Amino acid sequence: MDPQPLFNDLFGVMAVICMVPVFFLWLERKTKWKIFDFLPAIIWIFLTPIFLSNLNIIPRQSAIYTTFKSFAVPLFIVLMLLDINIRQSMKVAWRGAIVLTIGAVGIVVGCVGAYVAFSAGLPDDAWSGFGALAGSWIGGTGNLAAVAESLDTPSELVGIVVIVDNLVYLVYFPLILTCKRWAKPFNRFTGVSDREIEHFIQATSEVEKKTHEVHFSDVLTLVAWGFVAMVAARWIAGMVPEFPPVLTMSTWTILLVTTIGVLMSATPLKDVPGTEPLAMSFVYLYMTMIGASADLRQLGDAHWFLVAGFMAIGIHLVFVVFGAKLLRLDVSMAAVASVACVGGAASAPVAAGYHREELVPVSIMLALIGYALGNYLGVATAYLCNLVT
């Protein structure tokens, strides 16, 4: 008989699960150690519970994991999407949004192409892992979680995706920052004029910012409407035919929650503050639980995913350059559109501030559009990978 984990009851497990992200986020903020520039807190938040569960400190399987993920994933999707201001984004940065979309299609093409190229060295259910990876690189960690949950991706495969996501990003992000030095030849290649760049800078300075003051009534409102969206999505999904293994009721629920979240962003709910911190709290707890569920013995296929990941991100960059040429974007706006897609709302403002301070609010809006696209295109990627199997 296997020994019981050190923390096995509901309260003990949740105490550990909650303290892991709290500790590493505090450590990153307090120490500002350089290691966090290369291995951000999210990696440690994911890896630590892997070791804790494999060392039998917390359980690898628990009812609380299943229960939490069942409502946390659709809830944080709605919360993230409520930040989108589609009208303002299209008015100010419609060309950037189109290039982001072209880059997102590049991620889909890259992931499917990489899956076909390296399928011989990948496990049978790798198609769902590539769907999760595409979701992550089109929206962010929240989309990775949403797509993985909708496709019932094994925890070990999610672990591989998280590792590949971050290792590829270590090479990708410095490249995005460095490309600022190539402004003159790149802008000459795309055909954008100095006058067009100045006009865009003026337009971005007028972007409306959301208040950060949050009251308890705001949190209650967001949670309540999140559950309403969840109930509506599950009800509609029950009437839609399934096409397993990709388009199951779980997948339809996530896609419908995404659609309802986008529609709700056109209502006064978009002005309720507190969406981002509440959503990210759920995301980080989810990633901790996924780490706890992973088995270290199943991480042996990561090297094939890593090679495939570099191939996918390379194809994405080709699509972004093509989109910048088509829509005459300067190097800074093209870089921000790319990182808003691949890095999400956490990295986009950093890259935007490095390139041009005026792009920071626009980068956030573009990243939120990526959030909206991530679930749809992540599932589409998984479907296409499964189709060519």
The DSSP-derived string for 134-201 is: HHHHHT-HHHHHHHHHHTT--HHHHHHHHHHHHHHHHHHHHHHHHGGGGHHHHHHHHT--HHHHHHHH
Would you say residue 5 lies in a domain? Answer: no
Would you say residue 144 lies in a domain? Answer: yes
pLDDT at 77: 83
Instruction: Flag whether pLDDT at 369 surpasses 60.
Output: yes
Enumerate the β-bridge partners of residue 243: 247
Would you say residue 109 lies in a domain? Answer: yes
Model confidence band, residue 201 (pLDDT cutoffs 50, 70, 90)? low
Would you say residue 197 lies in a domain? Answer: yes
Q: What is the pLDDT of residues 157-168, one digit of tens each?
A: 888 888 888 788
Would you say residue 346 lies in a domain? Answer: yes
State how many domains the chain has. 1
Range of the domain at 321: 70-276+295-388
Instruction: Flag whether pLDDT at 108 surpasses 60.
Output: yes
Q: What is the pLDDT of residues 24-77, one digit of tens each?
A: 999 999 998 888 877 778 778 888 998 899 889 999 888 899 899 888 888 988
Would you say residue 18 lies in a domain? Answer: no
Q: What CA–CA distance (Å, rounded) separates 6 from 65? A: 17
pTM score:
0.81
Tell me the pLDDT of the chain averaged across its residues. Answer: 86
Question: Which residues contact residue 130 at a Cβ distance below 8 angstroms, ignoring those fewer than 6 apart?
Answer: 111, 112, 114, 115, 308, 381, 382, 385
Q: What CA–CA distance (Å, rounded) separates 119 from 125? A: 10
Model confidence band, residue 1 (pLDDT cutoffs 50, 70, 90)? low
Would you say residue 114 lies in a domain? Answer: yes
Q: What CA–CA distance (Å, rounded) separates 113 from 124? A: 16
Per cent of the chain over pLDDT 70 is 92
Q: Cβ of 221: how many Cβ atoms within 10 Å?
A: 14
Q: What is the pLDDT of residues 250-275, one digit of tens each?
A: 889 989 998 998 899 889 998 898 88
